[in-house]
A and B are shown apart, each in its own frame.
Chain A
Amino acid sequence: MVACILTGCGPSYHWSKSHPLYKQVPYSTLSITGTSNAFILTRSKWFAKKLEVAPESAQVQLTSYSRQVFLDEMRRAYPALQEIPDTAVSKFPEESQKLDDKVFIKGHFPEQGVSVKDTQGNIPQYILIVHEFIIGTDINREVFYDYDLIRQESAEKKTSKNLSAILSYTLWDNESQRPLFSAVDEIQRPIVKLTMEDLRAVAAEAAKKIRINLYEGVQK
């Protein structure tokens, strides 16, 4: 309390949460879902102008590019990665999950007692559910996920320093139907001159961060 007064009580966040029974990182048994709908590009007109893409197709074109890079990068880390259609999980109602006193993520989670099946009818053991993957400029995860800040409008800005991505995901134990690990990650990449390479690097970085976080989240 005293320390809090002295240091001015700055907000501190926990951006991830592990289940007490998260004991082992899945490697060859991981599947992924949610990627068809998770990718969102903010300020798409700005991106269209910078990257010389037709403004009306920028959203579709750039998100599908990021998705492809992200999935390729995930497959490099997990060669046996299976893709499950979004509908397998998105048919369940949206729920919020608490990571921290202030941080809540929203997403679709399979019902308790119901195992999700892939297109062949097999039951994958672990599923990485990607809830949101927001690409923009100079965006922070606090503004998107802190309950207190969520209603703040950010000022319209002319210059953009960073290309940012914010992603939330959950590692789902499909056998016991429990969330083993959930996190919100933020990636910032300084913009010199925006190219497709920057977009590629951010998506690749996101995949790398997931891999590291899944590893570090294991409960000893």
Chain B
Amino acid sequence: MRRYTLAIIGVLMLAVTGFAGNIYFNKRPTLWQNPDILIWTPESESPVDPKELCLSLKRNNPSIGEPKCRLFGEWERDSIAMHYAVWLKKNIDPKLNEEYLHIRHPALMNKVQLLEDNIVLYLADNGNTISVAIFDETSTNPKVAGSVTKTNDKIALGDEIASTFFAGKTKRRLSKEERQKMLEEPDDFYKEVPNFRAWAGISIGYSQAHIPLTPDDWTESHTKSQVRNYRITKDSVSLWNFIEDDDPLLSAYVGGIWYGFIGLELIYRFAKHSVKTDPRDSVYEELDHWDFYQHEIGLNAMFARSYNIKKWLDIDLFAFLGFQYSFFVEDIALKDEVDKPSKAYNVRIKFEEAYKGGLIGGGAQFVFFNHYGVGIRTGIASRGRDMYVDPTPDAAAAPTIIGGSTIDWFISLGLEYHWSL
């Protein structure tokens, strides 16, 4: 039963929309409150009665206020305007957009610009239908074109025109002074990109050794590895063989961008990684905790593109490329009851004093009201050994550097404050 009701409602709705006339295109002209509607027609007699049309408008859209409707005699007596009106009658067509209905005569173009906030309602009798177009001062193309079914009942016709073309929100009409002020007001969207914009921010994020969208087995051997007897792992090329890789990442940064295009950013990143001690190894029974604090300082070069979306919102998309130094500070402690550490404890692994690495990635900054920003960044960071050391003859005999190539992926979300100079 319910299904039938729905079907009937659907059919009725279709019937209503079918009855309500066709719109060929609608460029949403401003519908003013208490508008002056000027009826312009190439016919000898207007298809609608101005008074009835006004009443229809009030019935269909109460927010319209007190409309005034009259025949647009000035244009009906003007031969150039009448030529165009006759032309439009032949050319108004569902297939043609507003550009094809453009007013070409300069004299009529000038007249359109002098309409102020009056609405010109064009009506032409095309046999079974009445073609409708709406003009306003902002364009020499019609703003709306469409048609309604022709009836001799002028009240019904007025209702149909009102419901098809004059529904929607209305705006208060401006006074002469307000119009003048509007004309002189600067454009909100006209804004020069500042020569220099700086920001400072803090962010919270997450990093892991596995880079999304890459095969697991690229990193599995490192992430699954554990440390036995304080120093033994399968491999020592990556730090992730020794310490946990998936940890929160905190960072602070300051940066600046020139001409909204090229920028620099100084960053400090911090994370705490625990050593992956093998729980089966009894030597760790003496151990209370063993962690490494990762401190990183880096410099990024950025390339950005700004988008001015709203008056209060700018979006900058950027890519960055930089380098960083990583320092791993050990934090280790034995349990209180242990007096003397094991021999293995004393000869445990030591990381390099500093690692050099690179950063590559991209992100976006959303700047609200020119000052308050939210930044999102993602990328890949690496830490490696110093590439500037010349190989020595006994390089083969030298112990390998732990963490010669340590790569991780990170993502972070930051809060920023921006200044423009």
A57 to chain B, nearest CB (A): 39
CB of B166 within 8 A of chain A?
no
A36 to B131, CA, bound (A): 40
Are A113 and B104 in contact, with the CB atoms below 8 A?
A: no
Q: Which residue of A lies closest to B106 (CB)?
A: A93
Within 8 A of B (CB), among A1-40: 19-21
A21 to B97, CA, bound (A): 12
A91 to chain B, nearest CB (A): 14
Specify which chain A residues have a CB less than 8 angstroms from the CB of B90 in the assembled complex: 175-177
Count how many chain B residues have C-beta atoms less than 8 Å from C-beta atoms of the other chain.
Answer: 18
Decide yes or no: A178 and B104 within 8 Å by CB, A111-B83, A114-B83 being known contacts.
no
Are B100 and A112 in contact, with the CB atoms below 8 A?
A: no
A214 to B88, CA, bound (A): 25
The 8 Å CB contact of B104, one of A19, A21, A112, A175, is A112
Decide yes or no: A113 and B95 within 8 Å by CB, A19-B100, A178-B100 being known contacts.
no
Are A20 and B85 in contact, with the CB atoms below 8 A?
A: no
CB of B105 within 8 A of chain A?
yes
CB of B86 within 8 A of chain A?
yes
Q: Which residue of A lies closest to B82 (CB)?
A: A113
Within 8 A of B (CB), among A98-137: 109, 111-114
The 8 Å CB contact of B96, one of A21, A95, A109, A114, is A21
B310 to chain A, nearest CB (A): 24
Give the contact-size bracket for chain A.
Answer: 10 to 19
Within 8 A of B (CB), among A66-114: 93, 95, 109, 111-114
Q: Which residue of A lies closest to B81 (CB)?
A: A113
Are B93 and A21 in contact, with the CB atoms below 8 A?
A: yes
Are A178 and B91 in contact, with the CB atoms below 8 A?
A: yes
CB of B271 within 8 A of chain A?
no
Specify which chain A residues have a CB less than 8 angstroms from the CB of B87 in the assembled complex: 112-113, 176-177
Are A112 and B103 in contact, with the CB atoms below 8 A?
A: yes
A113 to B105, CA, bound (A): 11
Are B83 and A21 in contact, with the CB atoms below 8 A?
A: no
Q: Which residue of B lies closest to A97 (CB)?
A: B104
A177 to B84, CA, bound (A): 10
A/B interface sample: 30 pairs, CB < 8 A: A19-B100, A20-B93, A20-B95, A20-B96, A20-B100, A21-B93, A21-B96, A93-B106, A111-B83, A111-B104, A111-B105, A112-B83, A112-B87, A112-B88, A112-B103, A112-B104, A112-B105, A113-B83, A113-B84, A113-B86, A113-B87, A114-B83, A175-B90, A176-B87, A176-B90, A176-B91, A177-B87, A177-B90, A177-B91, A178-B91
Residues in B lying within 8 Å of A, measured CB to CB: 80, 82-88, 90-91, 93, 95-96, 100, 103-106
Q: Which 8 A-B pairs rank lowest in CB-CB distance, beginning with the nearest?
A: A113-B83, A113-B87, A112-B87, A113-B86, A20-B95, A176-B90, A112-B84, A177-B87
